[in-house]
Amino acid sequence: MFRTIIAAIAVIFIASSAHADGKNFYVESQIGSTVRADNGRDDSGVMGLAVGKDLGHVRVDLSAFRHSSGDATSLGEVEVDSLLAGVYYDIGTYSKFTPFVGLNAGYGWADGLGVSSVDEQGLIYGAGVGVSYAASSNIDLITRYQYLTSSAISVTNDSGLDDWDSQAFTVGVRVGF
């Protein structure tokens, strides 16, 4: 269900933006891993897809992420799906490199044996930093660090229950159109 909703939103956004003036829209994919798992958990896989608009030094996007962890532990798997709005500031372009900072906020849904209750969901927010490399006029290669957290989603760890959070490094591709 979640993937269907995300796909529908992405199709509507891309279709409506295809008729807009200018060529500052983009689609971005990300894949990576967490760097600090909760106590007793293994690192999680992270993947995401975003559609957005480049406004110059500022970019805005709508992204969908999936964090999945705990497969190899006795604490149980935790999967967190999220739909986030993001605002990013491109600091400047140096040669073909553009460092950026950003903020995200949205809603997340958690599932798995490592979640404290069956229906964990709520506000997710965070920040990130990264750098993009202009591989061509409309393709950027990206690496980023992103921190996300939620006090509404509780997960198990070695010391009991704790708020869900994620510190992840991702790599990706941004294609402008």
Nearest to 173 by CA among 137, 130, 141: 141
Classify domain 2-176 by CATH number. 2.40.160.20
Mean pLDDT confidence for 126-151: 94
pLDDT digits 0-9 by tens, 93-136: 788 999 999 999 999 998 876 666 656 889 999 999 999 999 99
Burial class of residue 134, CB neighbours in 10 A (0-12, 13-18, 19+): middle
Between residues 157 and 30, the one the model is more confident about = 30
Q: What is the pTM of this model?
A: 0.79
Is the pLDDT score of 84 beyond 50? Answer: yes
Mean pLDDT confidence for 145-162: 79
pLDDT digits 0-9 by tens, 54-71: 998 999 999 999 987 755
